[in-house]
């Protein structure tokens, strides 16, 4: 079952909004084009709208491009329970979307948190997700250390941002009084043209008694983000709040337990990685990228974009579109139909 969704959003010409039913509730999606299905999964704190530049490009290249609002975001379902945001639930949502669209297979592409959601969709359901594209966050198989224990060791006397996000209500109390300003600072702090200079205090660490936003620098928007874009993002989170998106971080230990049987497993479908050389995710996880011959044995291509920050498909949309289309068109027929 599906139904049209009202579009109170900044428009993408020729794109269609829909609500589809999945076992966990409903997913709002925006689609454009026809052909092999490409499912686009955003990260934190974002939206389907993060793929606004990819939808028409993929459609023009002969693909059915579908950008979802991940559960907890936008017009998708927002369960109250923290554990409703575990990785297995996100994988089930992706499977449900493919079925609701009448497809049997899809290529899945994710950015930021969407990257591990895409990776685990491919890992757990290779029968459905026949290729996987990962943006900004490299694939790293489940390891032997409980995530919250690992994060607690990072940063010394300061608190790593993932640890900061663990307590329900804590980060919400920082963000929700002025969502627009917080988003602007967070986006700018990880964008190549507005991030803090090398050597300054890192954005992702919180001194005792401080807030994450205390490390934000200036009030200049990055070049990829217009005032209208920021208005769209802010309006989405002002309507929905931040608890659902933050609950993704609050399930890292549950994910570690749920995915134990897949510990150390490679992803064997054709894959793609695109990252920015100024993105902390790329530098922190350099060892994961070096391990790709083992962890992504069918990696088609890997690209580190010079002078690019974290928001790769928005910062460098033309380049990312070209890389995505070239990769998609290189896939075997069975991996993109």
Q: Give the CA angle between residues 184, 242, 119 to the nearest 5°.
A: 90
What is the DSSP code (8-state) at residue 85? G
* d(C-alpha 305, C-alpha 316), whole Å: 9
Neighbouring C-alpha atoms within 13 Å toward the C-beta of 332: 9
Give the pLDDT confidence score for residue 13 in this predicted structure: 83
Give the pLDDT confidence score for residue 3 in this predicted structure: 55
Instruction: State the CB neighbour count (10 A cutoff) for residue 102.
Output: 8
pTM confidence score: 0.95
pLDDT tens string, the chain, 337 residues long: the values are 555 554 444 568 889 999 999 999 999 999 999 999 999 999 999 999 999 999 999 999 999 999 999 999 999 999 999 999 999 999 999 999 999 999 999 999 999 999 999 999 999 999 999 999 999 999 999 999 999 999 999 878 899 999 999 999 999 999 999 999 999 999 999 999 999 887 676 789 999 999 999 999 888 999 999 999 999 999 999 999 999 999 999 999 999 999 999 999 999 999 999 999 999 999 999 999 999 999 999 999 999 999 999 999 999 999 999 999 999 999 986 454 4
* d(C-alpha 306, C-alpha 234), whole Å: 29
Element (DSSP H or E) covering residue 189: helix 179-189
For 73, the token pair is 């975001």
Give the pLDDT confidence score for residue 156 in this predicted structure: 82
Which residues pair with residue 38 across a beta bridge?
65, 107
Regarding the domain delimited by 2-335, which CATH topology (the fold level of the hierarchy) does it fall under? Rossmann fold (3.40.50)
User: Which residues are the active-site residues?
Assistant: 112, 310
* d(C-alpha 1, C-alpha 47), whole Å: 22
Which residues pair with residue 51 across a beta bridge?
none
With a CB cutoff of 8 Å and minimum separation 6, the contacts of 155 are 205
Q: Give the CA angle between residues 278, 279, 285 to the nearest 5°.
A: 115
49 SS3 class? helix
- Residue showing tokens 């554990």: 83
Q: In angstroms, what CA-CA distances link 32 with 11, 51, 66, 164, 323?
A: 12, 11, 7, 38, 19
What is the C-alpha radius of gyration for the chain, rounded to an integer number of angstroms?
19
Which of 180, 302, 284, 285 lies closest to 242 in space, CA to CA?
180
Which of 67, 249, 57 lies closest to 165 in space, CA to CA?
249
Which of 281, 268, 330 lies closest to 310 in space, CA to CA?
281
Give the pLDDT confidence score for residue 155 in this predicted structure: 77
**Residue 330 · residue 305 · CB < 8 Å:** no
For 158, the token pair is 């300061």
Which residues pair with residue 9 across a beta bridge?
none
Phi, psi torsion values for 208, nearest 5 degrees: -55, 130
Give the pLDDT confidence score for residue 186 in this predicted structure: 97
As to burial, measured by CB atoms within 10 angstroms (0-12 exposed, 13-18 middle, 19+ buried), residue 239 is exposed
Domain parsing of the chain, residue ranges? 2-335
For 257, the token pair is 């337990």
The per-residue b/e assignment along 305-324, b for 16 or more CB within 10 angstroms, e otherwise, is beebbbbbbbbbbeebbebb
Give the pLDDT confidence score for residue 217 in this predicted structure: 86
């Amino acid at each position: 079952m599906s139904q049209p969704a009202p579009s109170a959003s900044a428009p993408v010409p020729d794109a269609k909004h829909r609500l589809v039913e999945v076992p966990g509730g409903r997913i709002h999606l925006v689609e454009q084009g026809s052909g092999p299905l490409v499912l686009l999964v955003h990260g934190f704190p974002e939206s389907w709208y993060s793929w606004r530049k990819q939808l028409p490009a993929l459609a023009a290249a002969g693909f059915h491009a579908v950008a979802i609002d991940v559960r907890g975001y936008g017009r998708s379902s927002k369960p109250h329970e923290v554990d409703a945001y575990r990785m297995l639930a996100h994988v089930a949502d992706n499977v449900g979307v493919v079925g609701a669209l009448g497809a049997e297979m899809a290529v899945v592409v994710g950015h930021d948190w969407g990257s591990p959601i895409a990776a685990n969709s491919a890992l757990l359901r290779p029968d459905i997700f026949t290729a996987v594209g990962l943006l900004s966050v490299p694939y790293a198989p489940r390891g032997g250390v409980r995530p919250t224990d690992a994060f607690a060791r990072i940063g010394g006397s300061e608190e790593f941002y993932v640890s900061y996000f663990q307590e329900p209500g804590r980060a919400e109390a920082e963000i929700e009084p002025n969502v627009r300003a917080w988003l602007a600072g967070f986006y700018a702090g990880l964008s190549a043209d507005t991030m803090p200079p090398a050597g300054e205090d890192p954005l992702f660490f919180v001194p005792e008694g401080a807030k994450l936003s205390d490390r934000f620098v200036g009030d200049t928007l990055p070049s990829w983000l217009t005032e209208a874009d920021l208005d769209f993002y802010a309006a989405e989170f002002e309507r929905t709040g931040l608890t659902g998106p933050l609950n993704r971080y609050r399930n890292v230990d549950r994910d570690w337990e749920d995915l134990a049987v897949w510990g150390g497993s490679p992803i064997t479908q054709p894959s793609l990685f695109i990252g920015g050389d100024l993105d902390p995710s790329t530098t922190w996880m350099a060892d994961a990228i070096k391990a790709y011959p083992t962890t992504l044995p069918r990696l088609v291509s890997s690209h580190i974009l010079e002078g690019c920050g974290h928001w790769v498909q928005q910062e460098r949309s033309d380049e990312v579109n070209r890389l995505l289309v070239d990769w998609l068109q290189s896939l075997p027929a069975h991996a993109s139909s």
